[in-house]
């Protein structure tokens, strides 16, 4: 049976992001894609409205943020709450699963931010050796 056909009967099926047909690979990309990671990271601090989120995730377009939120909502990582007000108010927040994932992702992000001096020094050495890239 193909791993892409995983259904509720197969919950013992091992998921493996290294296998290209495994659905976990798509979810990993939603989480770590250009905007997915920053969106999860921003929501970790609390629920935000669409425009607040857009300001926090510096550089994202309205269309890309909207697509990113749909993918994260579909994967059960983000919850969308529409208030029946006029105009309607829509808040986005992490689900418990989204918090678990965001926590690990922020661990990676903060570690990276703390080691960027080493990254920049490595780039300088690399470019000197190669005569620039």
SS3 of residue 16 by DSSP: coil
Tell me: does residue 23 bind a copy of itself (CB under 8 A).
yes
Give whichever of 18 and 85 is closer to a copy of itself, judged by the CB atom. Answer: 18
Tell me: does residue 116 bind a copy of itself (CB under 8 A).
yes
Tell me: does residue 101 bind a copy of itself (CB under 8 A).
yes
CA separation for the pair 77, 88 (Å, rounded): 22
Tell me: does residue 76 bind a copy of itself (CB under 8 A).
yes
Two structure tokens written together for 37 = 């990671």
Report helix angle 23-32 to 62-74, nearest 10: 140
Footprint on residues 40-59 left by a copy of itself (CB under 8 A): 41-42, 56-59
- What percentage of the chain's residues is helix, strand, coil (to nearest 5)? 60, 10, 30
Please count the other Cβ atoms lying within 10 Å of the Cβ belonging to residue 31.
20
Tell me: does residue 31 bind a copy of itself (CB under 8 A).
yes
Instruction: Select the residue interacting with a copy of itself from 88, 117, 128, 131 (CB under 8 A).
Output: 117
Nearest to 33 by CA among 21, 41, 22: 41
With contacts defined by CB under 8 A, name the span among 37-45, 46-54, 61-69, 81-89 that binds a copy of itself: 37-45
Two structure tokens written together for 110 = 């903060």
Residue ranges binding a copy of itself (CB under 8 A): 6-8, 11, 14-20, 23-24, 27-29, 31-34, 37-38, 41-42, 56-59, 73-77, 97, 100-101, 104-105, 107-109, 111-123, 125-127, 133
């Amino acid at each position: 049976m193909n791993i892409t056909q995983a259904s509720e009967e197969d919950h013992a099926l091992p998921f493996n992001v290294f296998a290209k047909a495994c659905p976990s690979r798509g979810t990993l990309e939603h989480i770590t894609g250009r905007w997915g990671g920053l969106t999860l990271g921003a929501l970790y601090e609390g629920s935000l409205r669409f425009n607040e989120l857009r300001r926090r995730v510096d550089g994202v377009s309205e269309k890309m943020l909207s697509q990113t939120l749909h993918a994260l909502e579909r994967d059960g990582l983000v919850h969308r709450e529409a208030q029946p007000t006029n105009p309607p108010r829509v808040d986005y927040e992490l689900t418990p699963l989204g918090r678990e994932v965001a926590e690990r992702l922020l661990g990676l992000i903060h570690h990276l931010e703390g080691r960027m001096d080493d990254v920049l020094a490595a780039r300088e050495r690399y470019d000197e050796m190669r005569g620039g890239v």
